[in-house]
Structure 1
């Protein structure tokens, strides 16, 4: 039997011990290399784009020769106004990518000895960077689609005679949302949060090529797909895969997201469901990348992203 990738030595190329041994200067160099990779880690002014800047010796800042703007390696990025050291920041990213089913902010706050609020906002900034990698992606080839519902938990009554069928619409809280995933075989994963499964059909027109072949289940929500794409359907009450039609890759994504919700985070509030869905998609797309490669890819994505407007000043309600 073949060994699972996460059990192999190839999956482990970066450890927390290595991060803390490299020291603050080396960790700082990693962020510089990721921010200005096209200039060999040398600073480029974020305001005017000038490649000539000199180091301010008293602190880790630069001053542009052209416009005299002072900036740091995290200025204008998703880590703007950060207070953590670069070593702790890199360690947090390694912890985050090491969790195959996600990493809770509470556990990270204990591992890094920071406040829960710090870990919570930092991880959501990383999820925002993950989501931005999916912007403008268009799927092609064989695309699997499916939907699953999350949130809106209803606590059952104590006595049996007082309990109601929580599957019925009249007994729902109204907070339950549907995550619809479009997954290209051997390619990218695109999740969307909608009210009902059928609401995702217009999104298919924007994100799936008309020459693609779509695989979906027998739900009536997907009947409209036959008008624009070659569509294969599979009846899951009879088989999971039949005559080449299946949605197993989409089900694999939902398996990871469900375990993130139940086993790691225990509860995902409705406004944040899209962020967690994007995180699960990123983890699925990079499941065969070693943890060091995942960490560097996430650092690069975060340093390439603009400052977060949703999470800057979150706990001060400034956003």
Structure 2
């Protein structure tokens, strides 16, 4: 019997031991190589684009020859104004990608001996950078679509006769939101946050090619899809698949996200649900990529992302308002 990829040696190409033994200087060189790959790690001024700079080695900074702007390897990225060492930042990324169902900020704070606030904001910055991969994505081929509700909690009454059926809309928590996933068969995925399943139809029109074949369940919210696509439906009260129509890969995504919510984070606040949904999508899309490459992808995305407006000075300015769309 063939060994599962995630259990094989090919899936393990980086470890925390390797990160901590490489030293701060090598970690710094890794960040330089990711920030300026076109010049093999040689600094490029982020203000004017000049490739000639003075190296202020004692401060790990650079000064542009043309405009005299001083900058560091993390200037203008989500790691701007960082206080953690480069080794700790690289270790945080490795810990983050190694969590198949995500990593709790509390665990990360203990692993790196940093404040919970630091770990919480850092993981959300990484999620924001990872989500850049999904920007403007269009899905084609066989696309599975499904929705599931996350967040909120209605505590059941003590006595059985007083309990309500929490599956009914009128008995759900007002904080509960619907995560809709659109996923290509053996391809990429794209999540959205809506109030009800049917509210995702406009997003389907924007992100699914007209020649795609859509697979959905018998939920009435998906009836409108027949007007624009070849749509196949499956009645889950009867079977999981019917004549090739199924949403099993969409359900696989929900399995991961549900375990992230219940088993890892225990609670996901409504304003942040879209970031966790994107993270689960990224993990599903790259589940057959070795952890070394995953870490490189996250670091590359982080170094290419601009300073976060949602997470810059988060604890000083209070909670941010986040968009509903994921």
Return the TM-score normalized by structure 2: 0.96
User: Following the alignment from structure 1 to structure 2, what is the Cα–Cα distance between the partners of residues 57 and 124?
Assistant: 31
Aligned to 1:169: 169
Aligned to 1:25: 25
Matched, 1:69 2:69: yes
Aligned to 1:275: 275
User: Following the alignment from structure 1 to structure 2, what is the Cα–Cα distance between the partners of residues 155 and 203?
Assistant: 33
Q: Which runs of 5 or more residues in structure 1 are unaligned?
A: none
Alpha-carbon deviations, 1:60-91, whole Å to 9, x = none?
10011111100001000011111100000000
Over the residues paired in the alignment, what is the CA RMSD in angstroms?
1.1
Matched, 1:92 2:87: no
Matched, 1:286 2:286: yes
Aligned to 1:212: 212
Corresponding residue SS for 1:63: strand
Matched, 1:14 2:14: yes
Aligned to 1:127: 127
Alpha-carbon deviations, 1:17-73, whole Å to 9, x = none?
000000001001111111111111111111111111121122110011111100001
Write the mapping of 1:192-271 to structure 2, written as runs, cut at 5 A.
Answer: 192-271=192-271
User: Following the alignment from structure 1 to structure 2, what is the Cα–Cα distance between the partners of residues 138 and 166?
Assistant: 35
Q: Between 239-248 and 281-290, report the one with greater CA deviation.
A: 239-248
Alpha-carbon deviations, 1:136-194, whole Å to 9, x = none?
11111111100000011111122334322223333333111000000012221100000
User: Following the alignment from structure 1 to structure 2, what is the Cα–Cα distance between the partners of residues 36 and 239?
Assistant: 52
User: Following the alignment from structure 1 to structure 2, what is the Cα–Cα distance between the partners of residues 249 and 55?
Assistant: 50
Q: 1:279 to 1:241 in 2, by over 3 A?
A: same
Query: How far did 1:132 drift?
Result: 1.4
Q: Which runs of 5 or more residues in structure 2 are unaligned?
A: 321-326
Corresponding residue SS for 1:136: coil
User: Following the alignment from structure 1 to structure 2, what is the Cα–Cα distance between the partners of residues 213 and 54?
Assistant: 56
The size of the alignment, in residue pairs, is 319
User: Following the alignment from structure 1 to structure 2, what is the Cα–Cα distance between the partners of residues 255 and 61?
Assistant: 45
Aligned to 1:53: 53
Return the TM-score normalized by structure 1: 0.98
User: Following the alignment from structure 1 to structure 2, what is the Cα–Cα distance between the partners of residues 116 and 206?
Assistant: 38
